[in-house]
C-alpha cells in the first residue's frame, strides 16, 4: 500500500487546479503545467485537495498510485513556488556567464561551450563560479542542471569541474613519491 498516495495534494492559495477526464491543469504565478494521469489511477478534486486513488487492486495500479500523487504534488508546488538548483564551477580558468539566451561555459576545453537556455527556465550567474537554475517544472530544472554538469563532471583528485552546490566530492590521494 502506498504511504505517499494516502495523503492528498493540498492546493495553496493562488493556484487553480482544473481536472478534466484524466488531465490535470495547474495555473499559478509561475505559469501553467499539465499532467495526464494513467488509466490505473483515479484523480478527484475535493475543495482545496487533490486525491489520487488506484483504479483497481493490481500491482501496476498500486505502483502508479504514489508516483502520480508525487507528480501532481510537484506540479502544484512548481507553479506556486518553483524549483531551483545551484551549481558551482571549480578550477583555474573555469567560468560561466549568461550571454543573451545562452549560458557560456569555459571549462578547460579549447573552445567555449554554449548551452541554450530552454523555454520556461531561468539561469543566472551571480559570480563567475556560481550558476543558479530556476523554473516551475522540476523535471526540466533537474535535466538542465544534469546536462550542464555533464560538460565537465568533477574529478576526484583536485575537485575540478562542475558540481552541485551541496554535492560532496569523494577525494582520492594523488601519486606518492
User: Does this chain's domain 9-80 share its CATH topology with 83-164?
Assistant: yes
Pick the CATH number of 9-80 from 3.90.930.12, 2.40.128.260, 1.20.990.10, 1.10.520.20: 3.90.930.12
Q: What is the pLDDT of residue 135?
A: 94
Mean pLDDT of 61-69: 90
Sheet containing 9-10: give its strands across. 9-10, 49-54, 41-46
Please check the confidence at residue 1 and state whether its pLDDT lies above 80. Answer: no
Give the DSSP H or E segment for 53.
strand 49-54
Average pLDDT value for the chain: 92
CATH H-level, domain 83-164: superfamily: Ribosomal protein L6 (3.90.930.12)
Fill in the DSSP letter of residue 158. T
Please check the confidence at residue 141 and state whether its pLDDT lies above 80. Answer: yes
Q: Are 137 and 128 in contact (CB under 8 A)?
A: no
CB proximity list for 56: less than 8 A, separation 6 or greater: 40
What ranges do the domains of the chain cover?
Answer: 9-80, 83-164
The answer for 21, left when phi > 0, alpha when psi is -120 to 50, beta otherwise, is: left
Mean pLDDT of 81-92: 94
Global pTM reads: 0.88
% of the chain exceeding 70 in pLDDT: 99
Distance CA 19, CA 9 (A): 13
Residue 137, φ and ψ in degrees, nearest 5: -95, 115
Q: Is 66 helix (H, G, I), strand (E, B) or coil?
A: helix
As given in the structure block, the three cell numbers for residue 109 are 576545453
Give the DSSP H or E segment for 10.
strand 9-10
Amino acid at each position: 500500500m502506498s504511504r505517499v498516495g494516502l495523503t492528498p495534494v493540498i492546493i495553496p492559495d493562488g493556484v487553480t487546479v482544473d481536472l478534466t477526464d484524466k488531465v490535470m491543469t495547474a495555473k499559478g504565478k509561475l505559469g501553467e503545467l499539465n499532467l495526464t494521469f494513467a488509466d490505473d489511477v483515479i484523480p478527484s478534486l475535493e475543495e482545496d485537495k487533490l486525491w489520487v486513488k488506484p483504479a483497481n487492486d493490481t500491482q501496476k495500479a498500486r505502483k502508479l498510485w504514489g508516483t502520480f500523487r508525487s507528480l501532481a504534488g510537484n506540479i502544484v508546488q512548481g507553479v506556486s513556488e518553483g524549483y531551483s538548483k545551484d551549481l558551482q564551477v571549480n578550477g583555474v580558468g573555469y567560468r560561466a556567464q549568461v550571454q543573451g539566451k545562452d549560458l557560456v561555459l569555459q571549462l578547460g576545453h579549447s573552445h567555449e561551450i554554449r548551452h541554450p537556455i530552454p523555454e520556461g527556465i531561468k539561469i543566472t550567474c551571480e559570480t563567475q563560479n556560481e550558476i543558479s537554475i530556476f523554473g516551475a517544472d522540476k523535471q526540466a530544472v533537474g535535466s538542465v542542471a544534469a546536462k550542464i554538469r555533464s560538460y565537465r563532471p568533477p574529478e576526484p583528485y583536485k575537485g575540478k569541474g562542475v558540481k552541485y552546490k551541496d554535492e560532496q566530492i569523494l577525494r582520492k590521494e594523488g601519486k606518492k613519491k
